[in-house]
Amino acid sequence: MAVVFNRSVQRDVSEILAYYTIGSGPELADEFFEELMLFIGNADSYPKKFH
């Protein structure tokens, strides 16, 4: 199954990453993105749990 993002989600994630990068540094932004990708990977693997 493929995960498809709405354009507004992509925009929101970009804004969050910029906020974390400016406010706390790129390390926090990287941690956020890694955790987000894990969550998305879980949703892709178990779509009936995430709807």
From residue 39, alpha-carbon distances to 23, 25, 29, 33 in Å are: 23, 22, 15, 10
Q: For residue 37, tell me if it sits in a domain.
A: yes
Q: How far apart are CA 3 and CA 15, in angstroms?
A: 20
pTM value?
A: 0.81
Q: For residue 19, tell me if it sits in a domain.
A: yes
Q: What is the DSSP string of 19-38?
A: HHHHHH-HHHHHHHHHHHHH
Q: Give me the number of domains the chain comprises.
A: 1
Contact 29, 21 (CB under 8 A): yes
The domain of 11 spans 7-41
Structure confidence by residue, pLDDT tens digits, 25-35 = 999 999 999 99
Q: What is the pLDDT of residue 8?
A: 93
- pLDDT band at residue 2 using 50, 70 and 90 as cut-offs: confident
Contact 34, 25 (CB under 8 A): no
Q: For residue 50, tell me if it sits in a domain.
A: no
